[in-house]
Chain A
Amino acid sequence: MEEYREEELTLPAEPMLLHMGPSHPAMHGTVRCVVKLDGETVVGSDVQIGYLHRGFEKECEWGTWTQVFPYTDRLNYASPLLNNIGYALAVEKLLGLQVPARCQYIRVILGELARICDHSVCSAAMAMELGAFTVFLYLVKAREWIFDILEEVTGARVTHAFCRIGGLRWDLPENFADRVRSVLPKSLEAIHECEQLLLRNRIFMDRTMGVGTITPERALAWGWTGPCLRSTGVAYDVRKAHPYLVYEDLDFDIPVGSQGDNYDRFVCRLEEIRQSARIVMQALDKLPDGPIAVPDDTGILLPQKLETYTTIERTIQHFKIIMEGIQVPPGEVYSYSEAANGELGFYLVSNGSGKPWKCRVRPPCFANVQALSELTRGRLLPDIIPTFGSINMIGGECDR
């Protein structure tokens, strides 16, 4: 067929502008893609974020260091505990504080459980948007059981607000280890069923393989991290590259992809669920006894409740922490950890008052979602959906 240029024709066809979102089933209500369509081919797309902007960073400057925890729950609301941990680690780094071993192990266990939740809900949403509704509900079921455990530990299903600077809100409940050991295999079984339904199904392979492909170089250039980067073959995981907490003592592998397409991202997430389950099981075996927080006399954590009720010294200490906030020495710090979507960074500046002077978040999916426009250009309209799904843009984190 002879090549022709549209604009040279007598009656050129104009591309159609389609506003996908924010109220579009696949856009989660938090993002808008303005796509320019030639038929169904995407000529160009403009990804507009910010629909879930709440002024997180400014809110943090208002509250004390402790009051930031409920806000961090709402960053990546699919895995709030990982944000809790990331923020706690950042403030502890600024304080030069090392939390006790038991606390570190508990953080690892809960963090990995949260990662399992996040990866399953991301894979679930992606599958649902491809029309596999059954897979969505199986994966959500797997997450539901883990949510039950997290609720028993933290007292809330999503908005845990569980970490504290220098420790945790509570120790684990008594039957925690047994609950996890019984529930995790059930969840993995549900995930296995989804793999049976999708991974070798040709329709799913056609929809995801070779779609949304990105090279490792481009991914790094965009600042990608997390499962999305690893799907391109770059084995960068903060837990391995810059170990924090007790990840060094635990044995786990990093699943990487080879093509960097949607299929690799999907499979990488499911594999990471397996690795996280491995970490949880090991950490449960190794879980040491001991305190879950730094000692009271550091003036970081609130004193023991019974002592607060009965002694005036502890009451005064309690009041000082509540009314003035934790005294963090002036300085600045950048701390990063591996959240579900990649490297979650907190850049904190303290001026010595009880409140953060600045709290900047490096949300992993902000970097990831930048590439969406590039990934979908020249492809078909339906390809936007799995690509967007596998990037796992979480509005709370991206827009802050």
Chain B
Amino acid sequence: MTTFFVVATAAKLVLFLVGIITCGALMVWVERRMSAMIQDRIGPVRANAGPFRLWGLVHIAADGLKMMIKEDFIPRRADKLLHALAPMLAIFPVLVTFAVVPFGPTIDFGHLGSVNHLGPLFEGRWATTLQVAQVDVGLLFVLAIAGTGVVGAVIAGAASDNRYSLLGSLRAASQLVSYEVTLGLSLVGCVLVFGTLRLEDMVLWQHHHTWGVVVQPLGFVLFLAAAIAESKRTPFDLPEGESEIVAGYFVEYSGMKFAAFYLGELMEIGVLACFLAVFFFGGWDVPFLRADGIHLSLPMLGAKFWAMPHWSVVLLQLGAFGLKVCGLIFLQMAIRWTLPRMRYDQLMELGWKAILPLSLANVAVTAVVLHALR
């Protein structure tokens, strides 16, 4: 383990943690601003920094400050330890799953200016992959960690000593566990096609062949549905269901503990957008852009090639990844502000009777086709 490796990993870790938390805070703004634009409102613009309103961006800071100075209320008969533990448990999987997201190809600080002929992923003295942890069982790691998300919700509901919370945590438990199954199964098709569990290799496959959404369109729709259900947002926001069970499992939380739940949920949108991009939209892949430059092969013009320096390729690919994530966040937000909420039994029916069989069928069809093609 070289010093460079340690420094690079630490840098990536810090960069990423700061990135996600900023992203979560920004998501608050995006959600408010976007819903306002959809609903013909102005949206929040009241908070300002002197003369600057910045389209309501200052509200993030105002909210953060408010959350910090608010009373941290714990119900009298609540379990104090579990009540305090639950928000941490709820935010933990979101932060951890981010670690395996490959948000860019390998970058070599020794050869930033030259043309890279080694391909997107390589090893070198000053090279590091833009991914915090390269885990061999990447996908399994993601699913395993995401599966612990239910614990925080259940503990929060059980520890709050509130009947609405109890109902909310019961709903959360059954919903998350049910959709966990589909979440994994809808990705099995991808795993079969890509032939790997490593997230960076999945992106590499898509980089060399074609995007996942082309080979797994059904898998994409199913994963999107399951992902929204996992992040507990409309139309699957039953554990919160503010008009039914008030705020569900976090009804008794205030201050920073509430912020942990709230930010956790919003960051989860970001995480899911990352995974959707990695599994189905080629991650950092830009069409026609290879590690050494742009390769175009048009039927009229024949093959063309423009060489590009290493740094510009990496920058373009990082930008592409960001753009894809933003687009997928936009998609999730648009769905949230369009659809009404489902009912508990209908949600279960959808999960077990529609999405699960469909994802099984997707796996079977993918396997058969792959076998036939071999």
Contacts and interface: CB of A to CB of B under 8 A. Distances in A.
20 contacts: A18-B164, A18-B167, A24-B246, A25-B242, A131-B235, A131-B243, A134-B338, A137-B39, A138-B39, A201-B339, A203-B339, A203-B340, A203-B341, A203-B346, A206-B346, A207-B340, A207-B343, A380-B344, A381-B245, A382-B341
Given A25-B243, A380-B343, A381-B244, A197 B167 contact: no
Interface residues of B, number: 29
Interface stretch (A92-100, A122-130, A360-368): A122-130
Given A132-B340, A134-B338, A137-B40, 10 more contacts: A26-B243, A130-B243, A130-B340, A134-B35, A197-B338, A201-B339, A206-B342, A380-B344, A382-B341, A383-B343
Contacts of A383: 343
Contacts of B246: 24-25
A165 to B, nearest CB: 41
B214 interface: no
Contacts of A157: none
Interface string B310-353: 00000000000000000000000000011111111110000000
B208 interface: no
A196 to B, nearest CB: 11
| Top-4 shortest CB links A-B | A131-B341, A137-B39, A129-B243, A132-B340
Given A16-B163, A40-B167, A137-B40, A385 B243 contact: yes
Interface of A: 16, 18, 24-26, 37, 40, 127-135, 137-138, 141, 197-198, 201, 203-204, 206-207, 380-383, 385
Contacts of A16: 163, 166
Contacts of B344: 40, 380, 382
Interface of B: 35, 38-41, 163-164, 166-167, 234-235, 237-238, 241-246, 337-346
Nearest to A23: B246
Given A197-B338, A203-B340, A131 B237 contact: yes
Contacts of A381: 167, 244-245
B241 to A, nearest CB: 7
Given A206-B346, A207-B342, A128 B163 contact: no
Contacts of A203: 235, 339-342, 346
A134 B244 contact: no
Nearest to B342: A203
Given A132-B340, A385-B243, A137 B41 contact: yes
A10 B318 CA distance: 62
A127 B244 CA distance: 13
A201 B167 CA distance: 27
B151 to A, nearest CB: 22
B160 to A, nearest CB: 14
A163 B59 CA distance: 46
